[in-house]
Structure 1
Amino acid sequence: MSDPPGSPERDLEQAREALDRGEMHHAAGHLAGAIAQAPTRPEAHELLSRLAARADGALELFPLDQPAFVGTVVARAHLLAAAGRPEDGLPLLAAASGHTPGMNWAGVPWVRDPGLGVRMEPGLLARIVMQLCSAVGDPAPEAGRDALQPYLTVARHAIAVHPDHPLLLGAGSALARRVGETALAVDWAERGAQARPSKLAEIWLGYAYRAAGRIGESLAALRRAVAHDPDDLSVYADIAGTLADQGRLQDALDWVDRALTRDPEYDCAVHTGHRLRYRADGDLAHLVRLADFIRDHPDDTHEHTDLADCCAGTPWLSRVPSAPGAPVDPDRRPPGTARPPATAVERLHRVAQPLWPHPPAAYDAAVPLLLVSPDDLLALVTHPPDAPDTETARVLAGVDPTLWDRCARVWACLGLLHHGTDEPWADSTRRRLLLDLALDGTDRITEAALFALITNAWIDPSARADVAALVTRRLHDVRDGASPIAWSVAQLALATPDLPTSTRDLAGAVLVQAASRLRRARRRPVRRRLLRWLARG
């Protein structure tokens, strides 16, 4: 489905004019545009009825092309309902809700009519609801829950007629849970499990209990699901996640290991296991191994966020950290270095930001900078352009005046990683350029180049020993804490794959020392004011 342009008022006006001229296809196109933007607007539905009356139902005016326009899909659903086929229209509305869950596609009288739930085959309705649930998130965002209530209404009406249909009860429970109707979700899931015990019924029941905070009953239901089907390893991962949320990490890891014993490459168990092991001991190696698994298994069963969740908020794993205390010393700007051209600045502005999900994602996000030559990227490093006139840039300036310049350099250095990727790392041009930047002095250019080198170590295991040795060397250079970027180099070290334990310990000590220096610096003005006051006394 594609998204709508224009405004509903203009589309309605043009639809009326086209209908008055007898231009049915034009009228249908504008009506679809209006409905896509204002799906419950009475004027749109009135005009759709007029069109249907003049065009023998008008279904042929709203074909389900590929890709289908969402307004066309929804208009066809309403025409099917008007033609006495609401059971054929509801799946189309559900598809639209899966495309844009926050839009109130189903907030119309024919969906709320109890007769729809009565006439629909319960198995079909259950499948429609399950497909909808898979698209809207668990739980659904608060802002979009009202738009999903009409489907819950249909489920209520259908369950009143089919009170013991296990699939409908389970699917209805899943939808009720997503929109915050927890008590209803538990009731329907319990009834479904009683009507026909099965793995799926126990999973729905376990999720409903978990949403209601009944963790013991949730775990019991999920264990019964495992007993029904010991080969469904996704349930093992769900049990592990539930146990971890209760602080029972060892029990959670036991379930992960049970799954991995059956299939060492089962993606849900691998992701959950690395996340929980990192949570247990904070060892970066778990995240690096997870990143390696993601790279080597691009066709996982579904999207996982474990790596991003673990990296979130951590300096350099997910963001450029703000400089503590006074601004960092001025950076190197070699005499005669050319300034970057406007095209390079524009491309940098498109990608540069202080946040990323994790280092491999930052590498991927820098791909567009392949269109900027290495010379121009070096010019961006030495002469970072002014920040773009955006809200994000204004927020950055308020948080830390140095942050934009540092972001710009970071992304320019990431761009260098995308040049000459066919060259083996050890003798590559990209390594040489970044090494020159990382080794010549200690300033914000140093940290930007170090981060790019570290990012390459995340994505290329063959570069890890080399990068770890370089980071160790640079950390020893600033270990006394006098360098203005000692704190940053230490944080970069803690984000480096395969770093020796001794270097990791040194990085922790440097951070402690830098924090102590900062506290002393902040106390000095207070002491001076106190001494002046005492002297006056």
Structure 2
Amino acid sequence: MTPASEGTGDRRLEAEGELSMARLALDDGERQHAADHIANALVCDPTFPDAHELLTVLTGRADDRLDLFPVEQPAFLGAVVARAHVLAADGEHSEALELLVSAQCHQPAGRWADIPWVLDTALATRVPPDELCALAARLLRVLPDPIPSDMRSGVQPYLSLVRNSAGLWPQHAGILWVASVLSRRMESWDEALDMALRSEKAAPSLQASVAVAYAYRSMERWADSERAFLRALEHDPGNAAVETDIAELLAMSGRAEDGLTWVERVLKREPYQENAFPTACGMRFARDGDVRHLVELADHLREHPGNSHAEGVLTSWSQRRFWLGPVPAPSESVVNVLSQVLEAEDKPTGGTLTVSAPEPPSALLAFDRSLPDFTLTIGGVPDPDPRSTVPEVFSSGPVRSVGTRVWDYDGTEARPSAAPPSPDAARALQDIAQQGWPHLPAAYDQAVRLSGLTLDDLLGVLVHPPAPPEEDAATWPEWIRSVQAWACLGIAHHRADQPWAGSDRRGVLVDLAYGPEDWVTEAALLGLVTTAWVVPDTRADVAEVVGWRFIAAMEASRTRPVTILESLALLTLATPDMNSDVRALAERVLAPGDGTEDEPPRSAGEIKPRWWRRVVPRRRRGGA
């Protein structure tokens, strides 16, 4: 099914324009052209009364009324919707509804069914309950759980229809089940439970008991949900999906060890069962925080890319730890001052800020972009010198020299040593930096979009970031960090045909990681860590490089503040196959505030940073 071309401006105005063209075509006797414009209008605004009125004028009782809206593949979305309305006018309601469901599956947020003939309570008498069940089940396979707010107006007519059908067929277990599942996803908990219990009573089944269990679970009635799941197992002993659901339920209710027992029971029968294995990986990660469980899940997902549950579990847990999902907010003093200035009721128009010691040049850049009328001065330089590369101040470690730098210093003033990127490269980074990533393998895949940029452009954007899309001074710090993260993910794809050990991409990322202390250090380590997630042969090398860079930061922190230390600890914990002693050291760094889970790592007195929007999909497995 192909969508209509996207227009700009108000969709109702676009629909009116299409109808004007349709009327002209009708006046000229060009019925097919008129039909095409009416179909376009229905895509622009499926609920527009004028479009439905003109459709009636066009089709009426004409013999070619269905031929005007063909649905041979690939079908045009507007033709599918218009044909549905013509069929409904002919009394073919089941076939008409089937076409609307097809449109809804194609664009779930569309208000394709928010129209009088679907909203008519009599429709439930015209569509047999078995056919309605099949159509609703098809729709449920594509709808998220829960259904987001922007989709609910489009889904509501279907919920009303199955409610009406359930009223007509109070003993039809299938209709009751569909009504339960759909209402639960619309977060109507009481209705979902009532319909599920009635379905189970009408015809006890695995499906009905699972619907009851899901409804109770949504209401956090843990014991009732567990009993319903156990009833479901009576219908199908050893059902791995239900046993996995029980495990997840127990974990939700604070009985994680009992939950692990359930999934491990499944894995004894089938070590990589599609439901139990991802859940076990997530539960083990929740238990000990060891990233190896998520890496193992990512490896599994790479070999079984169609496992949506594995994708959901990996995303869910990745979004709860910085760098696996969200980029941590900065913690430098200049950024804190910036926040205070921007939040003040009487904002100063300029001034001078003295920083006691050099802070990451990217932090100073963010301050300057946000408050260009302020002057920054640096008090002194502590030891070890944060302006120096790691090999210049530490004799130990695998890196002996740094060739590529993006910052040079004139005294205490940092200046970019990389040229500005091309306009095309700046636009590419501006586009991709507006989004986060669900997990690191997905970040690696998304960064392929940057593989066509030159290395000079990717280095240039690190220190000459494009402006954020919205002109808000407060967004500069996190925006720069996002740009830098994506740029280094792009570098991870540079000349990917080269063997890793001697590759340009490895050499540049290591140079950036071991260069002057900066946010670029973190971004470069992210590029290395992400590569290790998706290319197992690089893991030992990356673990050594990341581990030594963290140790160098720990050494420096003995005598001076290292503002990026906690972030480096998080990157260390994110690294596959990290040395256990180094991992333990990173855990101790984070232990006071435990920034690995729901609370971001921050020092006392710092402003809690904004979280990136989390997208944590819920699992759907056909049943409920």
TM-score class, shorter: 0.7 to 0.9
Pair 1:398 & 2:463 matched: no
Q: 2:518 aligns with which of 432, 437, 443?
A: 443
Structure 1 residue 201 and structure 2 residue 208: aligned? yes
Pairing 1:430–2:505 present: yes
Is 1:503 matched up with 2:577? no
Inter-partner Cα distance in structure 1 for 2:229 and 2:590: 44
Distance in 1, matches of 2:443 and 2:572, equals 17
2:164 partner SS: helix
**From 414, 439, 461, the counterpart of 1:358:** 439
Q: Does the CA-based 8 Å contact 1:260-1:269 persist in structure 2?
A: yes
Name the CA shift for 1:449/1:65 in 2 (closer, same or farther; >3 Å): same
Please give the alpha-carbon distance, in whole angstroms, between the structure 1 residues aligned to 2:360 and 2:182: 56
2:333 aligned with 1:333: no
The structure-2 alpha-carbon separation of the partners of 1:484 and 1:199, relative to structure 1 and needing over 3 Å to count, comes to closer
Matched-pair contact (CA < 8 Å) for 1:169–1:188 = yes
The CA deviation at 1:441 is: 3.3
Residue 384 of structure 1 pairs with residue 464 of structure 2: yes
Q: Which runs of 5+ in 2 are unaligned?
A: 8-13, 335-358, 363-405, 409-415, 596-600, 608-624
After superposition, the C-alpha distances for 1:458-492 in whole angstroms (9 at most, x for unaligned) are 11222122111112211221214224433332232
CA contact (8 A) 1:472 1:503 kept: yes
1:68-87 counterparts in 2 under 5 A?
A: 68-87=75-94
The aligned amino acid for 1:500 is N
Is the 8 Å Cα contact of residues 5 and 33 (structure 1) preserved in structure 2?
Answer: no
Residue-by-residue CA offset, 1:265-314 (whole Å, 9 max, x unaligned) = 12221221111121222222211211111112213266732112112153
Identical aligned residues as a percent: 42
1:111–1:154 Cα contact (<8 Å) kept: yes
Deviation at 1:192, TM superposition (A): 2.2
- CA offsets 1:163-217 (integer angstroms, 9 cap, x no match): 3222222122222222333333323322322222222222222223333443323
CA contact (8 A) 1:167 1:192 kept: yes
- Aligned partner of 1:348 in structure 2 is 429
Q: 1:172 to 1:486 in 2, by over 3 A?
A: closer
How many residue pairs match? The answer is 516
CA distance in 1, matches of 2:436, 2:110: 29
| RMSD value, Cα | 2.8
Task: Confirm or deny: 8 A CA contact 2:407 2:516 kept in the other structure.
Answer: no
Length-normalised TM-score, structure 2: 0.76
**How far 1:520 moved relative to its partner?**
8.9
Partner of 1:531: none
Amino acid at match of 2:540: A
- Indicate the structure whose relative CO is greater, using CA pairs within 8 Å and at least 6 residues apart: 2
CA distance in 2, matches of 1:78, 1:520: 62
The TM-score normalised by the length of structure 1 is 0.88
Residues 385, 194 of structure 1: alpha-carbon distance in 2 compared, 3 angstrom cutoff: closer
Aligned equivalents of 1:491, 1:103: Cα separation in 2 = 41
Alignment of 1:74-153 (within 5 A): 74-153=81-160
Secondary structure (helix, strand or coil) at the match of 2:163 reads: helix
Shift of 1:408: 2.8
In 2 relative to 1, CA 329–300 (structure 1 residues): closer, same or farther, beyond 3 Å? closer
Q: Name the counterpart of 1:320.
A: 327
Structure 1 residue 262 displacement after superposition: 2.4
Report the residue type matching 1:386 in the other structure: P
The structure richer in helix per residue is 1
* 1:415 maps to amino acid: G
Give the whole-Å Cα distance in 1 for the aligned partners of 2:592 and 2:126: 72
Secondary structure of the equivalent of 2:465? coil
- Distance in 2 between the 1:110 and 1:503 partners? 66
Residues 360 and 517 in structure 2, CA contact (< 8 A), matched pair in contact too: no
* Higher mean displacement: 284-293 or 183-192: 183-192
Unaligned runs of 5+ in 1: 523-537
Q: Give, in angstroms, the shift of residue 64 of structure 1.
A: 1.0
Instruction: State the Cα distance separating 1:422 from its structure 2 match.
Output: 3.2
Question: Which residue number in structure 2 is paired with residue 368 of structure 1?
Answer: 449
Measure the CA separation in 2 of the matches of 1:477 and 1:84: 76
**Whole-Å Cα distance in 2 between the matches of residues 146 and 175 of structure 1?**
13
